[in-house]
Structure 1
């Protein structure tokens, strides 16, 4: 951040986090650095030169960090969550992949057991993505054509409230934050969450900003749409158990319906259409879907492990690095 504030690219030389680390997915420095790089492509930062979005030295740092993250995802998925090669249609393979996911269920814990403070923690974690919900996947629109492009646009129209600003999913989440007494400023909790929470957003941004990863991006979106309806139902039930009212639950209630409708569209038209147009991207689509499931599993393991050990899943809140609204 110092390099951005001082507009001095020499400060990017020999940064310590550019060395290979054991687990880039959970490394706080790697994930915060990536999040900062990516946010320059979204809303930027207060008092930061917007032209630094394409500062060559910063792009070089970003690409190095992305290389470590991609290598780690491929390594972990090949070792623990391999997607078997198959000649079956992509949509059927996605269904098999999603159905075989056996990660811990954070939503079931929230539905039945989470305290009000734990629910607030969960909402803070997810704010780093939900306040820009749909934006990372929208990068794919100009990179697709035909059936897959039409399917993506249909999904994204719903994500953006069908043209009604108040119905945008990011705005519904902002309402949820305010109702829980939390800060609804974009990026407010970036320094309060660990690396794995930032990775949820960063993996999407990485897939979205790179045309070579467009297959992974649509696979990621498909997995997201295919696995969010029932968890959102549980989150809503958990919030109602904690005496949340209809307005507070609206974000989750909206996703129960919307994502159930999007599931088939994402698997068959979006991913199936892209695989038909560009068969060489089939394995990338499955990689993106597997990455989505895997990162969510690692996030759930962190949060549940923290809560079951009787400690917070957050760091001490610190908001000095806040993106411009």
Structure 2
């Protein structure tokens, strides 16, 4: 993956410096808007994943870059705190029930999965896959950061979930690989990060929240709650995505990613709510509020993203930034 085009003064400075050998960053300008902020934060986080072709790996731990990332994280955490009310702590035995109540489908909310199942054309479905590629081509990686930070029952549960995400040791069954098949089947470029220049800040924020929770031990409770919310709201939407793709002529290889998640996430839902979050709550009862907050953030960011894409699609407009989607 190469550095994407800048979206404001902050990313303009940051990307210019990242393309050079590591050195102390100058005082950064304020982000122009959320596009500038979220892209800068995404780039800082990406140095802990696959990185960028033209960026020296030594930038990952450059102190001045970490200070910049800390400033951006502070702004992002404040925005989350203002947008997502923090649930109060509950007794450990009540965590599963609270998560179930939070993740119950609201029939009055606009649904991306129903739209894709029943109404979307093939170009709209391709846009949806482009948005999702930012996370699904590194699926599971952000939540894996929690493994060395857990113990006992919750650690074993997370390893069980992640082992499935990584294909049980079989490269061709890794979920990121299955998503690549979906992209190729839709005529899209499945190379890692190919569509980073096209996705808006609302999509980057979904991914950035995972990295924020994953890279900070103090937020490990939020991370396990975040994963639980994803698993508990995944099975039915993926069934709808698969049905929509089949309606549009998608073959078995193209639909396999979504169909795989129908069954896998139905199992993961039980593990995540019970053994992962329940086990974590029993071991760290003071952090039950963090677990519920992480779940609430995952749900809120997904609702915000859904509002963006559905609003654009219902007006007949693209939900991506203004460039054609390359095949």
- In the superposition, the TM-score normalised over structure 2's length comes to 0.91
Contact 1:131 1:173 in 2 (8 A): yes
Matched, 1:16 2:30: yes
Tell me how far apart the structure 2 counterparts of residues 252 and 272 of structure 1 sit (CA, whole Å): 27
Tell me how far apart the structure 2 counterparts of residues 11 and 64 of structure 1 sit (CA, whole Å): 13
**Gaps in structure 1 of 5+ consecutive residues:** 22-26, 320-325
Matched, 1:7 2:21: yes
Distance of aligned partners of 1:35 and 1:12 in 2 relative to their CA distance in 1, 3 Å threshold: farther
State the match for 1:254 in structure 2: 260
- Of 78, 81, 85, which aligns to 1:74? 81
Give the paired residue count.
309
State the match for 2:318 in structure 1: 312
Distance of aligned partners of 1:145 and 1:318 in 2 relative to their CA distance in 1, 3 Å threshold: farther
Higher mean alpha-carbon deviation, 308-317 vs 283-292, is at 308-317
Deviation at 1:315, TM superposition (A): 1.1
- Of 147, 153, 158, which aligns to 1:152? 158
State the match for 2:97 in structure 1: 92
- Of 162, 169, 172, which aligns to 2:178? 172
Deviation at 1:10, TM superposition (A): 5.0
Deviation at 1:51, TM superposition (A): 1.2
Contact 1:229 1:259 in 2 (8 A): yes
Contact 1:12 1:61 in 2 (8 A): no
Cα-Cα RMSD: 1.7
State the match for 1:128 in structure 2: 134
Contact 1:218 1:270 in 2 (8 A): yes
Q: Which secondary structure state, in structure 1, belongs to the residue aligned with residue 19 of structure 2?
A: helix
- Of 53, 62, 65, which aligns to 1:58? 65
State the match for 1:273 in structure 2: 279
Q: Which secondary structure state, in structure 2, belongs to the residue aligned with residue 162 of structure 1?
A: helix
**Gaps in structure 2 of 5+ consecutive residues:** 1-14
State the match for 2:6 in structure 1: none
Contact 1:77 1:290 in 2 (8 A): yes
Contact 2:88 2:289 in 1 (8 A): no
Deviation at 1:100, TM superposition (A): 6.3
Q: Which secondary structure state, in structure 2, belongs to the residue aligned with residue 2 of structure 1?
A: helix
- Of 241, 249, 252, which aligns to 1:243? 249
Tell me how far apart the structure 2 counterparts of residues 273 and 288 of structure 1 sit (CA, whole Å): 16
